[in-house]
Each structure stands twice: as structure tokens, then as C-alpha cells.
Amino acid sequence: MTIMDNLISLAMIDEEIKEIESSKGDLPLRIEKLENEKKDINGSKKTLNDQLKELSDKQNKLNRNKEDSDISLEKSKDQLYLVRNNREYDALNTEIDIAKENLFKISEELLAINEKKEEIEEQIKLNESNINECSEKLVKYNAQLKNVMSTDEKEYKKLISQKEKLID
């Protein structure tokens, strides 16, 4: 075979390869896009789970502080009946006011944390739904691609090997 015949054969083989690849359509791109989207959603889900853990840790710490403030408040209230002068009474009332203020602040923080946790849990559920949707589409597209490729697989491999022989 001459060089010209080789080039013509190579061009014909390339044309047939392009036809087989075009029969795949945009499925490979869709699959890649969905895999990237699924990966991004999983990353977002991990970040949300980390935030949820941090909020739970902070909530536990605040609950311990609330218990301590409750105990301190009760002790101060019990000591009110044991005071001997006005200065002690005023000091205990100040301690009681501070403990009540701390309890109020802690309660507000706990409420805000609970709201944020609920918001994050909703986002996690949405992410899980999106992941499931992506997974279903991936299965569908992979099956379609496999179906398309199964009919042309042998010819595609044959054309690739012929192309390599012509190039060598």
C-alpha cells in the first residue's frame, strides 16, 4: 500500500470512529457533569455535617453552663435567708440578677442553635435528595451509554486497532 492509500484508509477509519462516538451523543458529558455535581453535593453535605457537629458540641457546652447557672441561682436564693446585713443582701441580689441574666442569654443562644440545626438538617435532607436524584440519572445514563456502546463496541475496537496499525 502506498502512503496515499494509507492516508485514505486512515481518514475513512477516523470517519467511522467519529460516527460511533457521535452515536453516544452527549451522554458522556452528561455523566461527567452529574458525577461532578454529585461530588460537589457530597462535599457540601460533609461541610453541613461538620457544622451540625460543631453546633451540637456548642449546645452541650451551653447546657452544662445552664445547669451550673441554675445551681448557682438556687444557692444564691437559699442564702438570701441567711444574710446578716444589707450589704450581704445586695451582693446576693446582684449575684441572682447576674445568674438570671446568664440563664436568659444561654436560653437565647440555645434557641438560635436549635433553629440553625433545624435549618442545616433541612439542607442535609435536600442534599441527600439531590444525591439520590443524581445517582438515579447516572444509572439511567450509564445504562443508555452501555446500550449504545454494546452494539458498536466490537466495531469500535476493530477500527481503533486498524488505525493503530496504519499509524505504525
pLDDT tens per residue across span 45-65: 999 999 999 999 999 999 999
Of the listed ranges 92-106, 125-139, 147-161, the one predicted with least confidence:
147-161
| pLDDT score for 113 | 97
pLDDT at residue 7 in the model: 75
SS (H, E, C) the chain: CCHHHHHHHHHHHHHHHHHHHHHCCCHHHHHHHHHHHHHHHHHHHHHHHHHHHHHHHHHHHHHHHHHHHHHHHHHHHHHHHHCCCHHHHHHHHHHHHHHHHHHHHHHHHHHHHHHHHHHHHHHHHHHHHHHHHHHHHHHHHHHHHHHHHHHHHHHHHHHHHHHHHHHC
Stretch 108-136: mean pLDDT, rounded?
Answer: 96
pLDDT band at 1 (very low <50, low <70, confident <90, very high): low
All three cell numbers of 7: 492516508
At residue 86 the predicted structure's pLDDT band, cuts being 50, 70 and 90, is very high
* Distance, CA of 109 to CA of 104 (rounded, Å): 9
Work out the mean pLDDT of the chain and round it to a whole number.
Answer: 89
pLDDT above 90: residue 148: no
Q: What is the pLDDT of residue 103?
A: 95
Supply the pLDDT for residue 115.
97
Model confidence at 165, pLDDT cuts 50, 70, 90, reads confident
- Position with higher pLDDT, 25 vs 74: 74
pLDDT tens for each residue of 7-43: 778 788 788 777 777 777 788 889 999 999 999 999 9
